[in-house]
Structure 1
Amino acid sequence: MSTLKIGVIGCGSIAKHRHLVEYAQNEQVEIVAVCDIVKERVTEFAELYEAKAYTNYEDLLANEDIDAVSVCTPNYLHAPISIAALNAGKHVLCEKPMATSKEDAEEMIQAAEASGKKLMIAHNQRFVPAHQKARQLIEKGELGKIYSFRTAFGHGGPEGWSADGADSWFFKKEEAFIGAMGDLGVHKTDLLRFILGEEFVEVGAFVETSAKENADVDDTAVCVLKSESGIIGTLAASWSYVSQEDNSTVIYGEKGIMRLLDNPVDSLIIQYQNGEVAKYELGKMQTNEAGGQTSTEVIDRFVNSIINNEESPVSGVEGLNSLQVVLAALESQETKKIVKI
C-alpha cells in the first residue's frame, strides 16, 4: 500500500500532543486533512501540517482521498462521528471512552463489521512496556494465583491540559457524559482486563464531584471490581490529586507482589514471598508533563494494522468491555447496589 492518507477530527490537546505528532513521525502516513469547529485552531494545524482545513466533519468524510481518521472530539461525538466515518469507508482510531452508552458502542462495532474497516480504541496503557511485561509474567504464572489488586489514575484535572482550560468540555455533562471515571478510570479498566486476562463481572462504586466547582461530572471515583475467577480489587480515578500524578497498579498474588509505575526508576518491581526482589527498568509512562516517552505506540499500531491488514490492536469489542465497567460504576453510584455486568 502506498502512503496512508489521514484526517484528524477534533484539534484539541489529544490531537495536538499525541495524534498529529505521532502521525507526522510515521513515514507511512500523510496527514491530508484536519477538522475542528474552531476555525482559528484548525487553520493553525492545517498550516503546520500542510493539510486541508475543515470545520465540518461530514465534509472531511466526503473526501475520497482519505483512508483513515482519528476521532479526537468530546466524548458525546465519538460514536456518531466514528459510525459516519466507518460508513464512509474510512478506518477509525477513536479516543476513549469509545462511546457514552453500550448501545452506541455496539453500533460502532456493527459499522466496522459492515464496512470491513478497522476500528481501534486509543487505550494506550496496554502498550506501556511495563504493562506488556506484566501481562507476560502473569500469564507465565510468575505470581501464581492472583488474589487482588489496586490501581489508581489521578492528577490535578484536565484544566491544565485541555485546549480550553477551565472552560473545557471535560467539565460539561452534555459533552463529556462522564468525568474522571471516563477520562482516567476507563484507562484502568482496560489495563486491568489486559494484564489479568479476565473480564470483570461485578462492580460497586462511589462516583462523586468533590473537588471541581465548575464541573457537573464526577471528579473523584473509587470502585471495587470482581473478575470472573474471583480476583477483587480497587480502582481509583480522580482529578483531585493536586501535587503529583498517580498512575500506579499493584497486583497481589500467591508468590509475590507486583508493582507497576509505582517507583520513579523501576517501572516494574516484583517483591517475592521468599524475600527476593526483581526490578525492571522499562521506561516511563507517557504523561502530559514533559519527559514522558515520545510515543504512545497507538498511532504506529493503528497504521500497521491497516497496512498489514491485521486485527485491530484494540478492537471495538475490547473498547466496549472496558466501557461496560465504567457504565456499571455509574449505575452502582445511582442505585447504591453492586452491579453485575
Structure 2
Amino acid sequence: MSKLKVAVVGCGSIAIHRHVPEYAANPNVELVAFCDLNIEVAQKLADQYGVKLVYDSHEAMLKDVKIDAVSVCTQNVDHAQVSIDAANAGCHVLCEKPMATSIEEAQQMIDAAKNNNVKLMIGHNQRLMPPHVKAKEILQSGKIGKPLTFKTTFGHGGPDSWSIQGKDTWFFQKDKAFVGAMGDLGVHKIDLMRWLFDEEVAEVAAFVETLDKDADVDDNATTLLRMENGAIGTMAASWTYYKGEDNTTSIYGEKGVLEIHDDPDVQVVVKLANGTIERYSVGAIATNEAGGQVASGVIDEFVDAIANDRTPSITGESAMESLRTVLAALESTKSKTFVSVATIK
C-alpha cells in the first residue's frame, strides 16, 4: 500500500508523547503536516520529525494539503469542529477523548464521517492495553462467573505535571476543556467498563468536584454506576493522586475476583472462591510517568482500519455512549440525584 499521509492538529503533550511518535514508528505512515494555534509549537515538533508543513489554522491546512487522515489532539471544545471539518475534507479522523462536549456534537461528527465515507475513531486507549485485553478474555470465559460488583480508578498528579503549558494548561480552563478529571480520566474508565462487560451504563450518581487544583473544572470525580446487566460499582477519577498514578480495576463475580493492576511484573490476578490463584504477566499499562510511555496501540489500530477498509475497534457511536455517561455524571452532580443515562440527549 502507498503510505498514509497524516496530519496532526494540536501539538501539545498527547501529540508529542503518543500520536506523533507512534505514527513515526508505523512504516505505512508519512507525517505531512502539523497544526497548532501556537505555530511555534507546531514548528518545534515539525523540526524534530522532519515535517515540512506547519499551520496555525486547520482550515488552511485542509485546503492546502492532500491529507488522508487527521489526528485531532486539540483542546476539548474544538474536537468536534476540527473532526467535522476534516471529515468534510475527505480525511479519516482519529479524535482524542472526550470526543465532544455534547451528544449533539458527537452525532454531528458521526454523521460527517458517514456522509463522507471516512473512518471516525476515538482514542479510548484503555481498551487496547494488554492487561485489559486479557481481563476481557477472562470475563468472556466465565471463569469468575457473572460480574456482580466492581471498583475502578484512574488518577495521577494532574495535567499540570506533564502538560507543556504547566499550571497554565488549558485542561484547567472550562471554556477550553469543558470538563476536568471526569472527562480526562473518568471517561477512559467508563469506556473500559462498558467494553469489558459489553454492557451500557444504566444509571449514575456522582460527585464531580474541584478539591485542590487552581482550576475552574473538576479535579476529582467519584461515581456510582449501575450497568444494564445489574452489576453495580464505583469509578473514581482524580488529578490529585500526587504520590503516583493509579490505574486499577477489581471485578467481583459469582466465582471469584478479577484484579487488574498497573504493576510492572504481574498485571492480572484471578482469585477464585475455591482457593485457586492465577497470575498473568501480559505487558504494562501505558502511563504518563517516566518510563511509562509505551505504545498505546491506538495509532496502529487506526492505520490498520484504514488500510483494510474495516470499522475501527473504537467507533464514534460507541464513544458517544461513554460521553453520554460523563454528561449524566455532570447532571447528577448538579441535581444531586441519580440520573438515567438514557435521558441524556
TM-score, normalised relative to structure 1: 0.98
Which residue is 1:92 aligned to?
93
CA distance in structure 2 between the partners assigned to 1:121 and 1:250 by the alignment: 25
Which residue is 1:65 aligned to?
66
CA distance in structure 1 between the partners assigned to 2:74 and 2:175 by the alignment: 13
Which residue is 1:128 aligned to?
129
Which residue is 1:315 aligned to?
315
Which residue is 1:187 aligned to?
188
1:27-176 correspondence to structure 2 within 5 Å? 27-51=27-51, 52-176=53-177
Which residue is 2:221 aligned to?
221
CA distance in structure 2 between the partners assigned to 1:63 and 1:45 by the alignment: 20
> 1:272/1:263 Cα in 2 relative to 1: closer, same or farther (>3 Å)?
farther
Which residue is 2:209 aligned to?
208
Q: Which of 61-70 and 162-171 deviates more?
A: 61-70
Give the superposed CA RMSD: 1.0
CA distance in structure 2 between the partners assigned to 1:112 and 1:231 by the alignment: 34
Identical amino acids, percent of aligned pairs:
53
Which residue is 2:328 aligned to?
328
Contact 2:88–2:116 (CA<8 Å) still a contact in 1? yes
CA drift of 1:293 comes to 5.5
Q: Residue type matched to 1:33 in 2?
A: A
**Any idea what the Cα deviations from partners look like across 1:110-153, whole Å, max 9, x if unmatched?**
11111110000000000011101111111121111110100000
CA drift of 1:291 comes to 2.1
CA drift of 1:335 comes to 0.5
CA drift of 1:108 comes to 0.5
1:250-329 correspondence to structure 2 within 5 Å? 250-261=250-261, 263-292=263-292, 294-329=294-329
CA distance in structure 1 between the partners assigned to 2:244 and 2:34 by the alignment: 33
CA distance in structure 2 between the partners assigned to 1:296 and 1:78 by the alignment: 20
Q: Which of 61-70 and 27-36 deviates more?
A: 61-70
CA drift of 1:264 comes to 4.4
Which residue is 2:7 aligned to?
7
Q: Residue type matched to 2:335 in 1?
A: T
CA distance in structure 2 between the partners assigned to 1:107 and 1:163 by the alignment: 30
**Any idea what the Cα deviations from partners look like across 1:9-28, whole Å, max 9, x if unmatched?**
00000000000000000000
Contact 2:264–2:283 (CA<8 Å) still a contact in 1? no
Contact 1:35–1:53 (CA<8 Å) still a contact in 2? yes
1:241-256 correspondence to structure 2 within 5 Å? 241-256=241-256
CA distance in structure 1 between the partners assigned to 2:335 and 2:261 by the alignment: 34
May I ask how many residue pairs the two structures share in their alignment? 340
Which residue is 2:26 aligned to?
26
Contact 1:130–1:267 (CA<8 Å) still a contact in 2? yes
CA drift of 1:161 comes to 1.0
Q: Residue type matched to 2:217 in 1?
A: V
CA distance in structure 2 between the partners assigned to 1:142 and 1:276 by the alignment: 11
Contact 2:17–2:293 (CA<8 Å) still a contact in 1? no
Contact 1:8–1:33 (CA<8 Å) still a contact in 2? yes
Q: Residue type matched to 1:237 in 2?
A: A
Contact 1:32–1:50 (CA<8 Å) still a contact in 2? no
TM-score, normalised relative to structure 2: 0.97
CA drift of 1:54 comes to 0.7
CA drift of 1:262 comes to 5.2
Contact 1:283–1:293 (CA<8 Å) still a contact in 2? no
CA drift of 1:261 comes to 1.5
CA distance in structure 1 between the partners assigned to 2:64 and 2:150 by the alignment: 47
CA drift of 1:64 comes to 4.5
CA drift of 1:318 comes to 1.0
**Any idea what the Cα deviations from partners look like across 1:256-301, whole Å, max 9, x if unmatched?**
1010025442100001101110000011111111222621000000
CA drift of 1:244 comes to 1.5
Which residue is 2:231 aligned to?
231
CA distance in structure 1 between the partners assigned to 2:256 and 2:64 by the alignment: 54
CA drift of 1:229 comes to 1.1
Q: Residue type matched to 2:178 in 1?
A: F
CA drift of 1:313 comes to 1.8
Q: Which of 176-185 and 40-49 deviates more?
A: 40-49
Q: Structure 1 regions of 5+ residues with no counterpart?
A: none
CA distance in structure 2 between the partners assigned to 1:64 and 1:49 by the alignment: 18
CA distance in structure 2 between the partners assigned to 1:261 and 1:190 by the alignment: 18
Contact 2:124–2:314 (CA<8 Å) still a contact in 1? yes
Contact 1:93–1:119 (CA<8 Å) still a contact in 2? yes
